[in-house]
Structure 1
Amino acid sequence: MSVDATKDTAPAEPVGPAVEPVPGDLRMARALWPVLLASAVGLLPFTVFSTYLVPIADEAGSSVAAMGGLRGLGGLAALLVGTALAPLIDRVPKEWAAAGALVLLGLSAALGAAGNFALLAVFCLLIGASTSVLNPALTAAAADRFGTGKAAGRAATLVTATQSMTAMLAAPVIALPALFWGWQGDLFGVTVVSLLLAVVFVARRGKHREADGSEAAESTPRLGYLASFKALAAVRGAVPLLLIGFLRTAVFMGYLSYLAAFYEERFDLDAGLFAFVWTLSGAAFFVSNLLTGRITNSAEPRVGTERLLAIGLVAALVSVVGFYFTHWLPLALAMTALHAASHAIVAACVVSLIVRRCGTTLRGSALSLNAAGQSLGVFVGAALGGAGLGLAGYPGTAAAFGALVIAALGAAALVPRGTSEEGAA
Structure 2
Amino acid sequence: MSVDSKGSDVASRAPADDEAIPGDLRMARALWPVLVASAVGLLPFTVFSTYLVPMAKDADSSVATLGGLRGLGGLAALLVGTALAPLIDRVRKEWAAAGGLAALGVSAALGASGDFILLAVFCLLVGASTSVLNPALTAAAADRFGSGKAAGRAATLVTATQSMTAMLAAPVIALPALFWGWQGDLFAVTAVSLLLAAVFFVRGKDKPVEEQDAGQRLGYIASFKALGALPGVVPLLLIALLRTAVFMGYLSYLAAYYDDRFALDPGLFAFVWTLSGASFFVSNLLTGRITNSAEPRIGTERMLAIGLVAALVSVVGFYFTHWLPLALAMTSLHAASHAVVAACVVSLLVRRCGTQRGAALSVNAAGMSLGVFVGAGLGGLGLGLAGYPGIAAAFGALVVAALVAAGLVLRAGPVDGDPADGSSADGAPPD
TM-score range, shorter chain: over 0.9
Q: Does 1:75 align with 2:74?
A: yes
Mapped contact 2:352–2:415 kept (Cα < 8 A): no
Partner residue in 1 for 2:5: none
Distance 2:157 2:11 in 1: 19
TM norm structure 1: 0.95
Mapped contact 1:40–1:162 kept (Cα < 8 A): yes
Q: Does 1:326 align with 2:325?
A: no
Shift of residue 9, structure 1, vs aligned partner: 4.9
Secondary structure at the residue paired with 2:321? coil
Partner residue in 2 for 1:400: 394
Q: Does 1:128 align with 2:127?
A: yes
Q: Deviations over 1:339-366 (max 9, x none)?
A: 000000000000000000001x200000
Mapped contact 1:153–1:293 kept (Cα < 8 A): yes
Q: Does 1:312 align with 2:307?
A: yes
From 362, 370, 390, give the equivalent of 2:384. 390
Distance 2:29 2:288 in 1: 17
Partner residue in 1 for 2:422: none
Q: Does 1:223 align with 2:218?
A: yes
Change over 3 Å in CA distance of 1:348–1:9 after alignment to 2: farther
From 260, 280, 284, give the equivalent of 2:275. 280
Distance 2:300 2:117 in 1: 46
Secondary structure at the residue paired with 1:306? helix
Mapped contact 1:23–1:151 kept (Cα < 8 A): yes
1:113-262 matched pairs, under 5 angstroms: 113-207=112-206, 209=207, 214-220=208-214, 222-262=217-257
Aligned AA (2:181):
G
Distance 2:184 2:211 in 1: 42
Aligned AA (1:252):
F
Change over 3 Å in CA distance of 1:356–1:20 after alignment to 2: farther
Change over 3 Å in CA distance of 1:64–1:155 after alignment to 2: same
Distance 1:420 1:136 in 2: 22
Distance 1:205 1:111 in 2: 27
Secondary structure at the residue paired with 1:422? coil
Secondary structure at the residue paired with 1:269? coil
Identity of paired residues, percent?
A: 80
Distance 2:114 2:379 in 1: 33
Runs (4+) of structure 1 moved beyond 3 Å?
1-11
Secondary structure at the residue paired with 1:115? coil
Partner residue in 1 for 2:414: 418
Secondary structure at the residue paired with 2:209? helix
Aligned AA (1:187):
L
Unmatched tracts of structure 1, length 5 or more: 12-17
Q: Does 1:374 align with 2:377?
A: no
Secondary structure at the residue paired with 1:414? helix
Aligned AA (1:123):
F
Mapped contact 1:153–1:351 kept (Cα < 8 A): yes
The farther-off stretch of 402-411 and 217-226 is 217-226
Shift of residue 75, structure 1, vs aligned partner: 0.3
Aligned AA (1:40):
A
Shift of residue 219, structure 1, vs aligned partner: 3.2
Distance 1:414 1:137 in 2: 27
1:291-302 matched pairs, under 5 angstroms: 291-302=286-297
Q: Deviations over 1:285-335 (max 9, x none)?
A: 000000000000001111100000000000000000000000000000000
Secondary structure at the residue paired with 2:218? coil
Shift of residue 206, structure 1, vs aligned partner: 2.7
Shift of residue 35, structure 1, vs aligned partner: 0.3
Shift of residue 7, structure 1, vs aligned partner: 4.4
Shift of residue 202, structure 1, vs aligned partner: 1.4
Partner residue in 1 for 2:57: 58
Shift of residue 19, structure 1, vs aligned partner: 7.0
Secondary structure at the residue paired with 2:20? coil
Mapped contact 1:5–1:147 kept (Cα < 8 A): no
Partner residue in 1 for 2:261: 266
Secondary structure at the residue paired with 2:164? helix
Mapped contact 1:326–1:332 kept (Cα < 8 A): yes
TM norm structure 2: 0.93
Distance 1:40 1:19 in 2: 29
Distance 2:167 2:130 in 1: 18
Distance 1:298 1:420 in 2: 17
Aligned AA (2:367):
G
Shift of residue 21, structure 1, vs aligned partner: 2.8
Aligned AA (1:422):
D
Change over 3 Å in CA distance of 1:417–1:6 after alignment to 2: farther
Secondary structure at the residue paired with 1:104? helix
Distance 2:13 2:383 in 1: 49
Mapped contact 1:320–1:401 kept (Cα < 8 A): yes
